[in-house]
Structure 1
Amino acid sequence: MPKKYGVKEKDLVVTHVVNLILTGKLRSGDRLDRNEIAEDLGISRVPIQEAVVQLEHDGIVSTQYHRGAFIHRFDDAVLREHHEVYGVLNGIASARAATEADPELHATLRALTAGLRNSRDPRGFHETAWQYRQTVTEAHAGPRLQAAIRAAQTFIPRAFWSAYLDAPAELLGHYEAETAAIAGRDPEAARAACTAAAELMGQIMLTELVRRGVLGGPVNFEMSLNPPAAEPSD
């Protein structure tokens, strides 16, 4: 695999392992073959060890003394929990944004929401959505919260969402609701918009992984495709 310049080798390993899990090539209890990863990525074992430390910290692998690293339990409950945590963490930052009257931030979020609403390219939608989250996080999350959000994003890979073309219509309303809540200085509504969006993302990913045969089915829930309406903010 050709190296991606500007990307840390440790991060390449993390992305590679997560992709193996999300494609079903690695499953709960499987041992992580470091030699195979080194060969696949064309890197040394040093960044692989760094990646294992991060993956263990993020709850994706567990290590056993003298035995190696193994994939943690990964099922529908774990996937739902992961997105629940992600929504709660984003909700903290968004609620903080709603408590402060920051005209510059409000203008930026309105512009990003308009970009989401007017997007004709699903991949562009997801990149703008990523920028939206980063804008709120960088403005209102301290170092510890930012680190926790980054860890929660491990199982929410951008490549997955760039390939999922139906999400814009499903997720747009939640971003509109969050923007309206922040502009209206309603922290609880901002928090609720984040948790609802993350729950929906988890449902979308679970449905897709069941379809792929990575996780067992059927999925026993109805998609929440109709979030609370919010006044458009242009």
Structure 2
Amino acid sequence: MQSSAQGWGKAVAMPETASAGPRRAGPANLNAMAAQEIRRRVFSGQLRAGAKIDQEALADELGISKLPVREALITLDHEGVVEHIARRGAFVARMTRDDIRDHFRVFGVVSGLAAERAAKNLSPESLQAMHDLADRMESAVDRAEQERLNFEFHRRINYAADSRRLLSLLGILGKTVSHGFYEAHEDWPDKARADHRLILAALSARSAARARTLVEKHLADAGERAVALLEQQGFWDH
């Protein structure tokens, strides 16, 4: 289950830059776009548990062929968001509150390992850059800007772990929740700012164990906020 955090999972990808130039929407990008849109509809309550996903209608709405939609549904089946029923089609899976919590807890464990490594690896310059990011996030009022800074904060920790395997796992875990999902919870900005300061203090003190514990709790708490938000949206109402 995202976000968004990482944000829930955007914390490992390199952000695109203006100098990168336009990109063609290749098959992999179309698959990812379709998967993200289906996640968004599921976690916003637009698609309810047990609802059949109309692949043709979705492809038409997105302006793409049915192939990337089918590929996206296979990916979402592996994630537990969608369930394929033989000769009937793809349906939104029934997820429990603990399914959501468990995703964030696992995400937190892996993120905590990255923070533990980062506490040993971050240079003084990198730590100062993270303090600057925290300052900017505290002064930002736009949610999109807050989310972007949150993304960058966690990205720096994850890359400082200097572990290709951890980055790979974080990429998988992070992309499985709708963009901007738990960040939509009304108290997220204040909670994120406070947590970031504690995490920064542990990293600056080179306290690897504390950094790991704090990041694990940061993501576990995000899971509780995700559950609360889904409850507000009537995700489990029938």
Return the TM-score normalized by structure 1: 0.79
Kept in 1, the 8 Å contact 2:121–2:160? The answer is: no
- 2:50 touches 2:94 (CA, 8 Å); kept in 1? yes
If asked which structure has higher relative contact order (CA below 8 Å, sep 6+), I would say 2
| 1:123 matches 2:138 | no
User: Is 2:81 the counterpart of 1:60?
Assistant: yes
| 1:170 matched to 2:161 | no
Equivalent residue number for residue 219 of structure 2: 198
Equivalent of 1:85, from 106, 109, 112? 106
Q: What is the distance in 1 between the residues matched to 2:71 and 2:49?
A: 21
Look up the match of 2:61: 40
Residues 66 and 141 (structure 1 numbering): CA distance in 2 closer, same or farther, change over 3 Å? farther
Q: Deviation string for 1:197-223 (max 9, x for gaps)?
A: 11221222221221121125xxxxxxx
Question: Is residue 103 of structure 1 aligned with residue 124 of structure 2?
Answer: yes
Quote the Cα distance in structure 2 between the aligned partners of 1:81 and 1:6.
36
User: CA 1:6 to 1:200, structure 2 compared with 1: closer, same or farther past 3 Å?
Assistant: farther
Q: Deviations over 1:109-157 (max 9, x none)?
A: 2221222233333432222011111122233253332232222223443
Unmatched runs of 5 consecutive residues or more in structure 2: 1-21
Identity %: 24
Q: How many residues align?
A: 214
Q: Which sections of structure 1, spanning at least 5 residues, go unmatched?
A: 217-234
Match of 2:169 among 145, 148, 164: 148
SS in 2 for 1:159: coil
RMSD: 2.6
CA distance in 1, matches of 2:47, 2:141: 35
Change (3 A) 1:6 1:82: farther
Query: How far off its partner does 1:176 sit?
Result: 1.0
Measured after TM superposition, the shift of residue 162 of structure 1 is: 5.5
- Higher mean alpha-carbon deviation, 118-127 vs 199-208, is at 118-127
1:25 Cα deviation from its structure 2 partner: 3.0
Give the TM-score of the pair, scaled to structure 2. 0.78
